[in-house]
Amino acid sequence: MDKKEVAGIFIEAGILAEPDAVDYVVDKGIDAGALSEKLMSVGNFFLTKEVIEALEAGNDKDKKSVFIKTASKKILAKDVSGSVKIHSKAEEPQNTKTLTDFVAYFNDRYEKIKNILLAHTEVKNPMSVGRLKEATDEKNVCVIAIISDINISKNGHHILNVEDPTGTMTAIIMKDKNIGEEAIIPDEIVAILGSVSNGTMFINNIVFPDVPIMNHFDKNIEDDLSAVLISDIHMGSNEYLQKVEDRFIKWLKSGEDGAEKVKYICMSGDNVDGVGIYPGQKQDLKIPDIYDQYLAFEKFIERIPEYMEIVIIPGNHDAVRLAEPQPPIGKNFFPNITSFNNVHLGPNPCRVELHGMDGREGMNVLMYHGYSFTKIINAVPSLRVKGMDQPEHVMTELLRKRHLAPMYKSTQLMPSGDDPHVIRSVPDIFHTGDLHSFAVKSYRGVLMVSASTFQGQTSFMDRVGHESNPGKVTVVSLKDKKPRVLDLLN
């Protein structure tokens, strides 16, 4: 196999392989498929030459030794200053939505994703829907359109209604075309290529906006620090796992085993269990008052060493409006910690840059709580099959769509002329929560972390048939973006 084939196998498996490692695999004739399986079985999605050598030496019994460098005893993080830059706007609350706001919102989404699509070489000379629907016979045409409706005919053809600002038309994907039609999400924006006959388009290819393949991480962050990614603390719940909090704090304060490098902690929403979130929630609450829940959450934050920078965004259980973008949690809920210089309250979704300083770009983390995930998983057959316990699939699709909530009804909106869900720039890390499922995967070089939770299985989750995967903490090195997972439950 040549380098391209080997690299393709790793990309397909979601493994980020350094060029040296690919060379090594080719030179030594190592079976790349078997190696991918081995890596996935030990939860390692980053391949370096050292990792292969460790595996060859039979050093894979202790997973940690395969991909984690020995922790330095030197206390690092507390000796260096940090930098947190929140790049997402925290909009003022707006209670009335007008038609003009919705039109501006959809126009903004269309223009932003159109610009991403225009960078693809396959997308050449796109025509407008208005012009194409008048055509009687046109071959090799391209149009950038919103998929406004999807139906599957009795014969298995996909019948789409597509539109752009100039009009709507019917577009058909014939059965068994296998061009990605199984993953189309209503309301997403794609480029479609094909031919037109009497105003109906026959699609031969779909181009998704997608993220470009990044084969290696070259941010050049000099300090050997790391960021911890967690979510869904659910303070106040009967099922709150105090022992997970205690073990987490004990590790953070230990100053060893990697904790000495932790400079940043990102928390991706549902910080408290909230009040009145679902019918009958009262009986699931240990702390029934929302202000008391946040006071207990503050106590948890106060236990974290003060030299660590903490980024907190809201989720659907927090005390802010449900409509997205959700503004940062109000300071009135945090009487004690908002005066702390190390606590940063961001909106949801939130683009945050960690440790960008001295003119160097930092680690870009796209934090999104994930309220849209459940509805999207349920609406798309290819995702529904994989279920809620494999969140990497919906996360991958959203990166391909370059949108966090492509299906209009997948979340509540507070529309404005800026669609906050468009993934305008490619993040280094995509950090989500909500599903209480845990996954760390790479898609085209973007590290995806569906953070776990500090809440055990609830009766509500029992009722909806979803199993929680609590107690996992992901630690990501800012130097090389390698992840490590702590299991604090078992």
Residues that bind Fe ion (CB under 5 A): 232, 270
> Whole-number minimum distance, CB 270 to Fe ion, in Å?
3
* Distance between CA atoms of residues 91 and 93, nearest Å: 6
Cβ closest to Fe ion, residue 260 vs residue 270: 270
Cβ closest to Fe ion, residue 187 vs residue 232: 232
* Distance between CA atoms of residues 316 and 410, nearest Å: 13
Cβ closest to Fe ion, residue 364 vs residue 437: 437
Cβ closest to Fe ion, residue 110 vs residue 373: 373
Cβ closest to Fe ion, residue 31 vs residue 278: 278
SS3 labels along 196-248: EECCEEEEEEEECCCCCCCCCCCCCCCCCCEEEEECCCCECECCECHHHHHHH
Residue linked to tokens 């929630």: 281
- Joined tokens for residue 463: 């009722």
CA dihedral sign of residues 164, 166, 168, 169: negative
> Whole-number minimum distance, CB 330 to Fe ion, in Å?
19
Report the candidate in 156, 120, 140, 314 with the shortest Cα–Cα distance to residue 234: 314
> Whole-number minimum distance, CB 234 to Fe ion, in Å?
6
> Whole-number minimum distance, CB 231 to Fe ion, in Å?
7
Pairing of strands 309-313, 262-268: parallel
> Whole-number minimum distance, CB 43 to Fe ion, in Å?
23
> Whole-number minimum distance, CB 454 to Fe ion, in Å?
10
Cβ closest to Fe ion, residue 224 vs residue 239: 239
> Whole-number minimum distance, CB 322 to Fe ion, in Å?
13
> Whole-number minimum distance, CB 315 to Fe ion, in Å?
6
* Distance between CA atoms of residues 308 and 310, nearest Å: 6
Residue nearest to Fe ion (CB): 270
Cβ closest to Fe ion, residue 21 vs residue 244: 244
> Whole-number minimum distance, CB 433 to Fe ion, in Å?
6
> Whole-number minimum distance, CB 134 to Fe ion, in Å?
50
- Bridge partner list, 327: none
- Burial zone of 319 (CB within 10 Å; 0-12 exposed, 13-18 middle, 19+ buried): middle
Report the candidate in 357, 431, 356, 353 with the shortest Cα–Cα distance to residue 395: 431
Report how far apart the first and last C-alpha atoms of the chain are (Å, whole number).
41
Radius of gyration of the chain (CA): 23
* Distance between CA atoms of residues 323 and 92, nearest Å: 12
- Burial zone of 235 (CB within 10 Å; 0-12 exposed, 13-18 middle, 19+ buried): buried
Query: What order of strands is seen across the sheet that includes strand 483-487?
Result: 343-345, 309-313, 262-268, 226-230, 472-477, 483-487
Cβ closest to Fe ion, residue 262 vs residue 376: 376
Cβ closest to Fe ion, residue 36 vs residue 372: 372
- Joined tokens for residue 310: 């903490």
Cβ closest to Fe ion, residue 39 vs residue 241: 241
- Joined tokens for residue 178: 């296998």
